Amino acid sequence: MRKGYDRTRKAKAFRPVRTIPRISSITVDLAPGSTPPIARMLPGEMTTLMFLDATGAPWPLAAAPRVSDSRYFDAEWLKGTATVVLSGLSPYEDGNLSVLLEGFATPVVIKLATGEPDSKSDSRVVDYRLDLRIPGRAPGTPDGKMGPAKIALYDETMQRFLDGIPPPAAKAVRIDGARDIRTKAWALDGALFLRTDLDIQTAFDQSIAAGDGTRVYRLPPTPFITFSEGGRSVTMQLEID
């Protein structure tokens, strides 16, 4: 009886499509003719959307989001925040989500998909967290030192470093004194790319940010990088060929 019960539980838990969880970020292009971002979902798996401005600061919503069909999708806004939690209620459905942000006239539209009917794959990437960067600054975000020229909104190379998938040609650079495993560096095409959650004090050319505070900086090759850690300056040495 127990073996039969165990087989029944296994059959109930079996899923023909295996989930590949993914945390990623994307810059939303709001220009006419552009393609809306896609949130990849599966029933039984939640997807969390975070809305950020160009500097990486949270951009709160102005009102509750709306889904195209509540029979297939559920959207829960954590009121007063920049976060929306999505649930797909049925497999192989398409829809969309419309979001209004505080102080921003243009609605942000996200396509929702819970599967591809014509796909033969037994696995599917699901966006567990999707950071959506909006070109502009959220209300109340200080100007700071990072002007528009230093924000790499649509740079695919820097986006790959931010997502933790460096280009194949990138060469890892050893950092002496890096106690934080989240601080990594690569050399590519005569430039240095630094991925860290620390505040950098060394001059850089461009930067791109994720919702958890992780940033990627592009700067000229240099043997020393200075960060601010816990209110004090920390200098690390890079082994550059």
> Do 53 and 77 fall within a single domain?
yes
Residue 154 placed within a domain: yes
d(CA 229, CA 241): 27
- According to the model, what pLDDT value does residue 232 have? 81
**Which of 99, 133, 167 is the C-terminal boundary of a domain?**
133
Which helix (H) or strand (E) covers residue 228, if one does? strand 224-229
Joined together, the tokens standing for residue 63 give: 């009102």
Which residues of the chain are under the pLDDT cut of 70? Answer: 143-149, 177-181, 241
Residue 140 placed within a domain: no
Q: How far from the centroid of its chain's Cα atoms is residue 13's Cα?
A: 30
> Do 157 and 39 fall within a single domain?
no
* Closest residue by Cα to residue 59 from 147, 143, 137, 150: 137
> Do 91 and 201 fall within a single domain?
no
- According to the model, what pLDDT value does residue 180 have? 61
Kindly calculate the radius of gyration of the chain based on its CA atoms and give it in whole angstroms. Answer: 21
- According to the model, what pLDDT value does residue 237 have? 86
Residue 141 placed within a domain: no
Whether this prediction's pTM lies above 0.85 is answered by no
> Do 26 and 121 fall within a single domain?
yes
CB 149 within 8 A of CB 43: no
Structural domain including 161 reads 148-238
Residue 190 placed within a domain: yes
Instruction: State the total domains in the chain.
Output: 2
